[in-house]
Structure 1
């Protein structure tokens, strides 16, 4: 792992260690979970523990996923530097901003920004490549984290992700570069377990009201 992503990894490791030592994030969820949108369905037993495990997995994958996206963009001749630098900066300033409260709660907004940006880059490049660069579907996971952050903060982070995408602006790609990127991507297609559906694995689901109404009518 490169130095850039190693710094992010170390920040994540500190946050997880802080949660394991104090369980501050898990305790805070007893007040937060009753306010989640009713479409988010959680396991009935120890929902705070399930959400905490989900958040840890959501955060843990960021360095590896970002680095792979960085490598794929490099193979395609795309400049990933603005994305990497802003996300790295957002993680690296956390201990200075909250030196006594560094934990999952203090890192969740940075994690959401990273995931949303990866999701957007995936969406932008998929029509060019004919296939997603990263074989993941983070929609449900991002919606759950959005609820945990609150609408105001989530909207601010969405705006920042949009700003990153405007700076990213992939132009029409050289055919040779495009082939190089697709070939590079194939290295990851044989390891689906590295791209988990966090929400599904933790029994967290979205149930839309229309589906609920249909279910009610069937009984």
Structure 2
């Protein structure tokens, strides 16, 4: 994983935002049209939303590093890593559909793909281990990002995610002896206690959904 390159690209996007204020202007235009389930504080709603987008993007390198590390411990790095590389490559080599997108606006789309990929792999882990791959709850944050990106394009990104996971991971990937050993380790109380320290990403950033 070349997450150092991702971190550099994210830093450059933040610098671009500091110079241009492009994202904050876009969010100002979106605020009146956000889905009513997205709950923001009464004061500084635009600032809270901008910080949400920034942190959502900033989490991606740590997310990919953590997912890869846990998959390596589980003995299925060879199955998981190609999926994570898709998210990494999406940052480093954006497809043509991203032409014209710059700064944090562009990276929000790419971050959504990365978060959704890990969310789908998490679902597989829950099915096989009754435990997530990594204990960061991004479900609500992903729904909020989906709204900010826009229904049509976000659905296209979701289709990329499903195609990638379906083609690279199967039930057989979780039937290895090393996976069985890892499954036993998951029952450790220390593992459970460590995972409790990870908060829900959206709550941490002050943005929630009222469903």
Q: TM-score band, normalised by the shorter chain? A: 0.7 to 0.9
Q: Work out the number of aligned pairs and report it.
A: 204
Give the Å deviation of 1:132: 1.3
Query: Match for 2:61 among 60, 63, 81?
Result: 63
Give the Å deviation of 1:36: 0.9
In the alignment, the residues of structure 1 paired with residue 137 and residue 62 of structure 2 have an alpha-carbon distance, to the nearest angstrom, of 16
Matched, 1:199 2:197: no
SS class of match (1:133): coil
Note the aligned Cα RMSD (angstroms). 2.6
Q: 1:213 corresponds to which residue? A: none
Query: Match for 1:77 among 75, 84, 102?
Result: 75
Instruction: Quickly say closer, same or farther: Cα 1:183–1:22, change in 2 above 3 A.
Output: farther
Q: Gaps (5+ residues) in structure 2?
A: none
In the alignment, the residues of structure 2 paired with residue 69 and residue 81 of structure 1 have an alpha-carbon distance, to the nearest angstrom, of 9
Query: Match for 1:48 among 34, 46, 49?
Result: 46
In the alignment, the residues of structure 2 paired with residue 57 and residue 29 of structure 1 have an alpha-carbon distance, to the nearest angstrom, of 15
In the alignment, the residues of structure 1 paired with residue 177 and residue 54 of structure 2 have an alpha-carbon distance, to the nearest angstrom, of 39
Q: Which has the larger radius of gyration?
A: 1
Instruction: Output one character per residue of 1:3-43: Cα deviation in whole Å (capped at 9) or x when no partner.
Output: x1111111111112211222210111111111111111111
Give the Å deviation of 1:159: 0.2
Instruction: Quickly say closer, same or farther: Cα 1:50–1:33, change in 2 above 3 A.
Output: same
CA contact (8 A) 2:71 2:133 kept: no
Instruction: Quickly say closer, same or farther: Cα 1:66–1:27, change in 2 above 3 A.
Output: same
Q: Gaps (5+ residues) in structure 1?
A: 209-219
CA contact (8 A) 1:27 1:48 kept: no
In the alignment, the residues of structure 2 paired with residue 48 and residue 112 of structure 1 have an alpha-carbon distance, to the nearest angstrom, of 20
In the alignment, the residues of structure 1 paired with residue 40 and residue 75 of structure 2 have an alpha-carbon distance, to the nearest angstrom, of 42
Q: TM-score, normalised by structure 2?
A: 0.85
Q: More deviation in 149-158 or 178-187?
A: 178-187
In the alignment, the residues of structure 2 paired with residue 66 and residue 182 of structure 1 have an alpha-carbon distance, to the nearest angstrom, of 24
Q: TM-score, normalised by structure 1?
A: 0.82
Q: 2:163 corresponds to which residue? A: 163
